[in-house]
Each structure stands twice: as C-alpha cells, then as structure tokens.
C-alpha cells in the first residue's frame, strides 16, 4: 500500500486531506439505484458508490447526469432511501461516469458504516 492511502481492517480506505471536508470520506463500493423523473416518467439507473460520507457520495454510473439534477438514491444493501442532487458535472472515467451527489440533508446512518472521527488523520507508513 502506498503512503497516500491508509487501509482499515474492514478494507475501507480514507484519502488524505479529508480533514478539510464536512465529514470524513470513506472509500467503499455500495450498490445503489438512482431514481429521477424525466419527461414525467420515473427513470431508474443502477450505480455503485466510489466514496461515501455523511453528506452524500461519489457514484459510478453508466450515464452522466447534469448538475443540479434531483434524484432519489436507494441503498441496495440497507433498503434506505434519500433525496439528493448532483453537485457538479459528471466526469468520465474508465469505468463510467463519476457523479458527485449531496443528500438533501446530512444522513450519516444512510450507509450504515462507522465514520472515523472528524479529527482522525492517517499516518504515514
């Protein structure tokens, strides 16, 4: 493992610089479904998270979404639902489109994982 990432016992990764965020970001893959209304119809898309925090997630999806798109995110592992919006333009990656999502209100229990304390910092190995 290189010194820019630390791995916890559960296989969860934390990225350096997370102390500047509103909540710690945890690198974890969680299957999700994104739901939105387009032309009066409900559209559902399968996706997966790349990183999560108490305020939202970065998800990987096969199609891009426009900034400010309102969606409902469904956590396939827990059956939890939350309202969210796309915060910035989607970025193309080798695996699909990286889409940053922000919950309508903070929802730390949505992912049902324990986030590190806000003052936690990875050490160099």
Residue 22: pLDDT band (50, 70, 90) is low
- Rounded CA-CA distance 105/123 in Å is 31
Neighbours of 31 (CB within 10 A): 12
Per-residue pLDDT tens over the stretch 54-103: 999 999 999 999 999 999 999 999 999 999 999 999 999 999 999 999 99
Q: How long, in residues, is the chain?
A: 125
**5, two tokens:** 């990432």
Q: Where are the domains of the chain?
A: 6-110
CATH number of 6-110: 2.40.10.220
Q: Read off the pTM.
A: 0.76
Q: Is 106 left (phi over 0), alpha (psi -120 to 50) or beta?
A: beta
């Amino acid at each position: 493992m290189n010194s820019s990432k630390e791995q916890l016992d559960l296989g969860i990764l934390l990225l350096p610089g997370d102390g500047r965020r509103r909540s710690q970001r945890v690198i974890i893959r969680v299957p999700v479904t994104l739901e939105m209304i387009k032309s009066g119809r409900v559209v559902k898309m399968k996706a997966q998270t790349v990183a999560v925090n108490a305020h939202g997630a970065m998800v990987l999806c096969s199609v891009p979404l426009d900034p400010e798109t309102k969606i409902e995110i469904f956590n396939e592992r827990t059956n939890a639902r939350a309202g969210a919006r796309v915060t910035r333009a989607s970025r193309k990656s080798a695996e699909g489109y990286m889409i940053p999502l922000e919950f309508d209100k903070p929802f730390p229990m949505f992912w049902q994982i324990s986030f590190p304390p806000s003052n936690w910092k990875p050490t160099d190995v």
